[in-house]
Structure 1
């Protein structure tokens, strides 16, 4: 037992070195070359050309977006008559932020003042039982004349439904000017989507078009919605949410003029199969307050429907660096080694002559003895002497008997 453990221990001290064997096997040879070509093609085509594996990249883009809308529309309602809507009226907030709302439809409840008024039917109108409802607070008093509960709220309460047609129907012709400033801090690279041009009237007349004006930063509301797969009428009545994507993919090994944005458009609040869902659409309420001559505070309550725009900026920049280049080349060489391993397994264990290849490849050598070293070392001979074997071979080639040759040498 001790001897067995000793053998195991001493076997750990054995050193293994590679032995190269040239196997004249065309099947394995073709397979190995195909594997090498595949690795080289992957490394050059996919890693370096397509994925630009020789570049150091950065995706932590710093971005600032400023928006400006232009356009007017005229509405005619029973409460207010003719009313002109400018950008200061239909854009919320008006500061020109990355996220903004454009009013397309609305319900207005004019001349509300704080007081007591009827709300809902008298079911649940308990005396002195205050219950908060969306319009105000129930007082607990029943109003028999109207069959409703009394509430403390801004009166009269909101009523009515959104018009079947959007009141701001000309909103589809409004323009959106998007200014986007980006920076990749790792490379100290900055740029804007407003390209420099010597034509001073270009930005006043151009409209974004993917084919003819791909770098114009001015968009028509109608076009933006159409590019999402919907129409203006689909969103204008009950509202919706639209995302405008700005994608920066910059190869900084090329000229700066080659780094330009690409735009994309999508509807965020609904899919095509659920456009009538309760999750689609967008609206909210706001009020405008004023005082009459007697100092009484009134307000006009607006429930507005419209389109919520969200400008989404993403980007990636890359520049040549020796570190990722060396790492990717090393990965390719490692894959080459995997090919050697696979072909070895096939040759040594899966071929019909695998046992022959194994015997040829794997060989165990013990520590050589002194006699073995002497046998394998060349004999040192004095200068000017020739061994009998060498001379015998030479004379034999000349058809001369070695005995006669020796006799001749003795006579001399």
Structure 2
């Protein structure tokens, strides 16, 4: 039995607003957009509203936009109140109702589509007549708001209304966005670009709503972000997705992963070990995502790890080529730190020429230091101290 109090439909409605707003701003990139400020979605130009949109999403694909539809009358009420409060001045602002419902031929809503049958004068007369005669308690407040306007205001309102019915639902809007992105994105990267853009947009709109929706989101900012994402998919680059991701806090005294023990061997501070754990976490997630999205091959990862190994090998020999002076643990640790600091603070080698995010290099070194049998280490006698002997190339997690 369906839960009559389920919030699923409302949640989809809010997500629909956010996704549809992204679709709209990609089509009107030179404008500014707001969500839940002047309306569900609003476009502004230099601080002046030019279009307000009400969005209505229905999970029932057969929903109809009848003359008594609450979607229609609630929308009219919102705009009627905005006129009375002088939040909008008509004419001059387009008022658009976007709905997945369908308006039947000869209905009031059908007269407000943007087509050759558009007739706002007739629609206004029918709306007034319907509001005067209807006995609906559900729409009563909406009728009162509309009828409280003067005749000239009523007509100005209706002349500004455009109804876009039978629109795509939340799933289909995703495809509309992807079609728009195809104008600037190579098809093989389309899904990856879309996911990153929508993820950024969702966080952007959350911040927008949390701040009270007082500021608009500039279309040029969306354009800049999109171009930044696309640039990461050039042949010599890779997208960076986990710059601000952090692993769950762990107890380092109980963390027995090899790369952590490698750092403990050279007496690295707990703060630096936590940073190493963070880089390991980010690099592991990043490399896994690159491979799953077919942006990077396993062969490229193997080739990169070979370059890292050769870089480590040369530095290891440089640090330890001179005989030990004291031949005690303090000297061993100091040489280990010298090796570790030298490698972890450099910016080469990169996995791809223009992919220079430090956590990729640092985390990849820790991934290598976590493999059995030990591929690399920091302590001059790391292998003997850890005494690891297992199948080649296995990473300990």
**Under a length normalisation based on structure 2, what TM-score does the superposition of the two structures give?**
0.21
Report the structure number with the largest CA radius of gyration: 1
**Under a length normalisation based on structure 1, what TM-score does the superposition of the two structures give?**
0.20
Choose between structure 1 and 2: higher strand proportion. 1
User: RCO (CA 8 Å, sep 6+): is it higher in 1 or 2?
Assistant: 1
